[in-house]
Amino acid sequence: MTPRAAALDCLLAVAERGESLSRALPPLLAQIPEARDRGLAQELSYGALRWYQRLEALLGELITRPLKPRDRDVLHAARLGAYELLYLDTPDYAVVNEYVELVKRRGKRWAGGLVNAVLRRLMRERAALETLVDREPASRYAYPHWLLERLRAAHPDAWEGLLAAGNQRPPMTLRINLAQGSRDAYLARLAEAGIEAEPHPLVTSAVSLATPVDVARLPGFAEGAVSVQDAAAQLAGSLLAPRPGERVLDACAAPGGKTAHLAETAGIGLDAMDIDAERLARVQENLDRAGARARLIAGDASNPAAWWDGQPYDRILLDAPCSATGVIRRHPDIKLHRRPGDIDELVRRQAGILEALWPLLAPGGMLLYATCSVLPEENNRQLETFLARHVDARELPIEAAWGRAVSVGRQILTGDSGMDGFYYAGLTKT
């Protein structure tokens, strides 16, 4: 399979069949023998989805007669060609030729002329077309209109930077297993391996790579010396800070990055639960690689009666299901799949899980609520409502150099200190 054919199949899977990018792309990449070509297929797939709405607006100016539903592949081929012309360094003539031949190879010789005309006109009139579509913020920033308006209302002083950060290629960040060695020692191992990296300025376990690499190149990866995890996600372990002898619950644990981090703390009794039994296999893989242990529980966090043994927990991490609006730069397909009604449903689900888990916390214990969302209704407003309902709940203020204080907890916006968008709030039971 060629890289452009793989990217086209990926767009069809994500945009037409509703599949997630993380599920659709790997089997396509597996059909491409050369690493360089796999890299191009990945870049095209992520890039065309990252700028989907802007490319849609441009193509809307260039294709005036709607295509039949069965010819959506032609439209996506033109979208990929437009992305490659505007955002990559491939010579223009090569881009046009590649996508003309791509649609012909898919049995649509008639579409070769259309793709040729669309891409050549984009080359000729690029500046005027970009000026035209960029007047509309939803096109300029390539976000669905409803989400852009929610983000603008939530962050009136920072929304443009937030949207721009969501369109950046994310850094590859590592979490050093400090139980196995220091960060400085691991940085030295990276240097010996010829991998350029620097310590994260605010997260003591984090290292940022200058360019992403295959995990197989990371020294000690197979032995659990290091994991791939954004710096914002790494904060969960240090904020929860379990002590030896404590009983800890990691609710909604899959895929297990935070579980493995917690499990590296010696002497705690860790339960990791998730509603998806298949995804718990990923949690076990992460634990095995780190040489760590936890008791895995398949269950619904909003229904503890089905799985809780009645023994209270000293610490609970609730990494709640959320809109994932803080990690759009890693999952640009979120901009296609998320709907306004999803947010209200997620808020109800988060509230239900919080209510259900609260009785499991021991008096004096700590519940850390976390999301990878930048929407206040899922974060500080959710916690405001919870605190108003529970007289036995008290906020544990987070004093930190990262993020920004909000009414309850701290919010990290995407791109703050190079991190993903994340929210944290600590509660204790009086």
Beta bridge pairs of residue 298: 274
The catalytic position among 10, 252, 322, 372 is: 372
Nearest to 118 by CA among 96, 101, 140, 133: 96
Could you tell me if 6 and 34 are in contact, meaning their C-beta atoms sit under 8 angstroms apart? no
The reply to whether omega before 255 is within 30° of 0 (cis) is: yes
Beta bridge pairs of residue 428: 366, 394
Q: How far apart are CA 401 and CA 202, in angstroms?
A: 7
Nearest to 8 by CA among 71, 88, 102, 84: 102
Could you tell me if 231 and 206 are in contact, meaning their C-beta atoms sit under 8 angstroms apart? yes
Q: Is 10 a catalytic residue?
A: no
Q: What angle do CA 234, 214, 80 make, to 5 degrees?
A: 100
β-pairing, 404-405 vs 313-319, is: unpaired
10 Å CB burial of residue 428 (0-12, 13-18, 19+) is middle
Q: Read off the tokens for 329.
A: 């730069």
Instruction: Give catalytic residues, as residue numbers.
Output: 372
